[in-house]
């Protein structure tokens, strides 16, 4: 194991991951800065923080579109999983139990859970039902810089893993299951986002009125033998998704529009979680005033109608809301928009 | 309605769009700075200008490849539609009549029309025949920053719409019909480009010898019951275009090559109008000396062999023409090049 | 022919290419700075150099995955072809003989050949067998700035071509056959990389411990009538590759991992040679500390988890190796990763 060291102001060399069993039946998501999409918990602390975070693996039957339900493999119970917000330089001690062999209910408030637990209980937009499908899984945080054969190790049902990582680089990062087939595990629902805010911020921070996290992802589903949908191997292999969605559900961002007012600066933390497609992200009626590719403040662009984001790529985007009315977030690859990659931003008066 | 206001030197809050009927049978394209691809009208004025522009919706039977004709839904009669050139900060009062229920001939010179009308009459490379297919349509200018439920409203055959917008951000922008299915309306031909020149220019402006507008787009066509081709729903859904072309026609840029001389700096205003594909834009024999992503002068890159442009993305690209001979514009995603995404730049002596 | 001239410190106007026949049966790859993937020969000279380089066209039966062999059209005998390393401003006199009508063995050391010849004899990871398939071919160096109808001319079996070009722009560049169908010729194996190091270097050069060249490309193969695979026209047209690989072979970068140590800065010269797909290039466990899009030092980005590279696009990427263990290079478009676009970087102790 490489001993901890610093280089260019960053910290590398994390202790070996621990794989163990624990008698845990508490809330599956723990951590003060962990929220339900599209929320982002503001960072209310100075300097760096050591976060203790838990996101357990759960199987949940969820709705991803009107009339389309499947048994999802999830981090924390939703697809995408919870949003973790930390600051550049923060250390995270992460614990995860593979509870794919357990029925875990996430629709009721729990004690000691993260804001995510409260938010999902109040707004279970995927209409969760707990389910069981015991499977080995793992966790790969793109925000972490560690050896994958150690930290991203696969654990069996009933096992837990615990490891540290440092958020060395600012930006928005996907996390996902890294167990083969990664195509299937990610498509089945095991992905989410970590937002690492830069320690010196972005130049427009003081003007930002609202922040939202928006995740694009594809589902590859076909009708199963019963009422549920199931994974479509051929569709996934051929890059022919059945649904391309924002925040895990085909119509959620129309049913529950993002809100803002005319004249405000809205910031989107956008992540394209794939598993395979690109996104030509655009907001109908708006132009991105500032864009930071991958969310890193060094990578600034201005005046972009559309930002092309690869699979597991991201961007932080500021938009001035021009006037009262409706704006539509969209993957401007229109074949994908037709499969659901659209959402609404509703702007009130100035 | 949000009252007009300025922010960061830009103007937002446009008056409500007017939908009305008018007894208009004049030229379908009006405006001094509106041209036929690949032309761009130089901006010959100081400061900002208030443009009055009309681009009517017409149905036209056109040729998109040798032996391939279909009944196109168009802005102004061609696919892509006319190029509008304005300056950062300009105001545009835009009028559009949905004349999809009317036969409108664009192959004869008209009085009071834009340069586009003259140019298309002289060079009807899509071999237009007027046609009728009454349908609701709309206009979405990516260069505008307005509420889409107001300005991008759908109007029926015989209706007109009029609204103002400000070109707040420099760059090249797609415009297109925003009426569902946007995939179909855009693929059927309803898209074009607005070039918004930066008020302080690009750093190499004084060295530029020629400027061309090049639009890439996909057609999804299959043989119809008669001699005409028709929209291929399945091809469009599955991202399997029948033709991928520059400036609306499979061979136009070989039949009518762009021209330059060795030693000149040529500027391309490139827009990938999709509706779904990406473009890996390259010129065989050349390297892009400067690239401004989305056409915004802040987003400068240098020394690029290939620029990846998403659907509804753009780039402004300078290339030094090395020597006399032929250069080929190409989408280097070669499956798309095989479907037609190639064109010629013919260089004369130095 | 345009006479040689300089502009902005670059040189254009190369003498006309010579097409001729020669009685040559020496090593098919000649040049001091020409290597086998993933090697890059360090530039050990000051100022600029005039390189004499030969890369002949050979047909070789090769293995691209366990049990998958086909008769490849190659530059120099491997797929991708040899890596050429030069410096910004260098002149290259390039000679190429179309030896597709000749059996040429590359698995034995040769006199007067480039380091590539030695390296491939020592490590014939594609298990080459010489073969014959007489065909016209050509060479298109993206790093060159010349008229394609002159320098990129197609030559028949037994013919040779010779021309000069100048590496005017720093960066990593694909080279490939430009003979129609370019989709087929490139997919059949005719592509490689030229690395043009910037004359003033990259800002982190003094910290770089190792450099590797990694090329992504797609194969479109189906079982032929005998034991060999053959080109799949339909797969290539429909962008459905059979294999997506790094350095020409589905498992080579696992069988022969790249090597580094914890705490080192590793530089990847990454080129996506297509012919059609994009790559969302990522290293599992790492974050790119610095990225130069297209390899040009002006185009710097920082802190990127994933870099989206178009077809015939490239990037130069620095990564700090965090700790001992395994890291996986991957096209994070997971449908492509499943087809083979993965490789290993094995990190030793600090
Ligand atoms: Cu998993
Ligand atoms: Cu649009
Ligand atoms: Cu329309
Ligand atoms: Cu090329
Ligand atoms: Cu060839
Ligand atoms: Cu990943
Ligand atoms: Na990582
Ligand atoms: Na997409
Ligand atoms: Na807009
Ligand atoms: Na394309
Ligand atoms: Na070139
Ligand atoms: Na790919
Ligand atoms: Zn601590
Ligand atoms: Zn998993
Ligand atoms: Zn998309
Ligand atoms: Zn006015
Ligand atoms: Zn329409
Ligand atoms: Zn393309
Ligand atoms: Zn010389
Ligand atoms: Zn060839
Ligand atoms: Zn890919």
Query: What string of DSSP letters covers C47-79?
Result: S--EEEEEE-EEEEEEEEETTEEEEEEEETTBS
Residue positions counted in chain A:
350
List all residues of chain B from 96 to 135 with a beta carbon under 8 Å from chain A: none
Give the model confidence (pLDDT) of A215-259 as tens digits: 999 999 999 999 999 999 999 999 999 999 999 999 999 999 999
Identify the chains in contact with B, defined as 3+ C-beta pairs within 8 A. A, C
A170 CB neighbours in chain C (<8 A) are 303
Torsion-angle region of C67 (φ positive above 0: left; ψ -120 to 50: alpha; else: beta): left
Inform me whether the C-beta atom of residue A183 falls under 8 Å from chain C C-beta atoms: yes
Position A325 scores a pLDDT of 98
Taking only Cα atoms into account, the Rg of chain C, rounded to an integer number of angstroms, comes to 19
In chain B, the domains with their CATH numbers are 5-197 (2.60.40.420), 205-348 (2.60.40.420)
Q: Is the CB of C93 inside 8 Å of chain B's CB atoms?
A: no
In B, minimum Cα distance to A350 occurs at: B2
Tens digit of each residue's pLDDT (9 = 90 or more) over A52-111: 999 999 999 999 999 999 999 999 999 999 999 999 999 999 999 999 999 999 998 888
Closest CA to B2 of A294, A202, A327, A197: A327
Provide the CA B188 distance to its chain's centre, in angstroms: 14
Entry field: residues in chain B: 350
Which of A183, A176, A199, A25 has its CA nearest to residue A111? A25
Q: What is the pLDDT, as a whole number, of residue A332?
A: 98
pLDDT (0 to 100) of residue A40:
98
pLDDT value at position B1? 86
pLDDT at B91: 98
- Cβ of A263 within 8 Å of Cβ of B149? The answer is no
Q: What is the distance in A from the centroid of ligand 7 to the CA of A47?
A: 23
Q: How many Cα atoms sit within 13 Å of B307 on the Cβ side? A: 33
Residue from C320, C322, C333, C349 to probe the interface with A (highest A Cβ count within 10 Å): C322
Percentage above 70 pLDDT, chain A: 100
Which residues are near ligand 9, the ion (C-beta closer than 5 Å)? Answer: B 142
Q: What is the 3-state secondary structure (H, E, C) of A9-58?
A: CEEECCCCCEEECCCCCCCCEECCCEECCCCCCCCCCCCCCEEEEEECEE
Of C324, B74, B177, C22, give the one whose Cα is nearest residue A145: C324
Element containing residue A222 per DSSP (H, E)? strand A221-223
Helix (H, G, I), strand (E, B) or coil at C151: helix
Sequence-separated (6 or more) residues with CB below 8 Å from residue B89: B10, B11, B48, B166, B167, B168, B199
CA B152 – CA B94 distance, rounded (Å): 11
B 134-173 residues with CB below 8 A of A? Answer: 140, 142-152, 168-171, 173
User: Nearest residue on chain A to B141, judged by CA atoms?
Assistant: A285
What pLDDT score does C242 carry?
A: 98
pLDDT in tens, B63-113: 999 999 999 999 999 999 999 999 999 999 999 999 999 999 999 888 888
Give the model confidence (pLDDT) of B141-179 as tens digits. Answer: 999 999 999 999 999 999 999 999 999 999 999 999 999
Closest CA to B346 of B285, B288, B282: B285
Q: What are the pLDDT digits (tens) for C34-69?
A: 999 999 999 999 999 999 999 999 999 999 999 999
Tokens 């704006």 locate to A327
pLDDT over threshold 90, residue C130: yes
**Neighbour subunits, C (≥3 Cβ pairs < 8 A):** A, B
Long-range CB pairs of A197-201, under 8 A, 24+ apart, other chains included: A197/A43, A197/A85, A197/A86, A197/A87, A197/A88, A197/A170, A198/A88, A198/A170, A198/A296, A198/A297, A199/A48, A199/A87, A199/A88, A199/A89, A199/A170, A200/A297, A201/A297
ipTM above 0.95, yes or no: yes
Average pLDDT over residues C185-190: 98
- The rounded Cα A14 to chain-centroid distance in angstroms is 24
Q: What is the DSSP letter of B78?
A: B
Q: Could you read off the pLDDT of C204-214 as tens digits, one per residue?
A: 999 999 999 99
């Amino acid at each position: 194991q490489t001993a901890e060291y610093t280089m260019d102001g960053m910290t590398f060399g994390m202790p070996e991951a621990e794989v163990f069993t624990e008698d845990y039946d508490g809330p599956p998501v723990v951590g003060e800065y962990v929220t339900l999409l599209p929320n982002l918990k503001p960072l209310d602390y100075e300097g760096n923080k050591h976060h203790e975070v838990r996101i357990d693996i759960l199987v949940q039957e969820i709705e991803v579109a009107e009339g389309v339900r499947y048994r999802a493999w999830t981090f924390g119970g939703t697809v995408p999983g919870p949003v973790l917000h930390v600051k550049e330089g923060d250390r995270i001690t992460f614990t995860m139990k593979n509870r794919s062999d357990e029925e875990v209910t996430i629709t009721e408030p729990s004690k000691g859970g993260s804001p995510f637990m409260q938010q999902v209980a109040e707004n279970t937009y995927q209409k969760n039902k707990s389910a069981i499908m015991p499977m080995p899984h793992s966790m790969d945080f793109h925000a972490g810089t560690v050896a994958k054969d150690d930290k991203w190790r696969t654990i069996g049902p009933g096992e837990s893993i615990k490891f540290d990582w440092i958020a060395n680089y600012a930006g928005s990062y996907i996390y996902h299951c890294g167990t083969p087939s990664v195509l299937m595990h990610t498509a089945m629902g095991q992905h989410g986002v970590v937002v690492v805010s830069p320690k010196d911020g972005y130049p427009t921070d003081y003007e930002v009125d609202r922040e939202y996290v928006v995740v694009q992802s594809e589902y590859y589903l076909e009708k199963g033998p019963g009422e549920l949908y199931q994974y479509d191997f051929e569709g996934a292999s051929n890059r022919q998704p059945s649904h391309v969605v924002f925040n895990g559900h085909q119509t959620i961002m129309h049913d529950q529009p993002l809100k803002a007012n005319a004249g405000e600066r809205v910031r989107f933390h956008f992540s394209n979680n794939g598993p395979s497609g690109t996104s030509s992200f655009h907001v109908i009626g708006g132009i991105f005033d500032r864009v930071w590719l991958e969310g890193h403040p060094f990578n600034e662009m201005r005046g972009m109608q559309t930002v092309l984001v690869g699979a597991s790529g991201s961007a932080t985007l500021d938009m001035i809301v021009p006037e009262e009315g409706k704006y539509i977030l969209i993957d401007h690859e229109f074949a994908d928009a037709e499969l659901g990659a659209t959402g609404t931003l509703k702007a009130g008066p100035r």
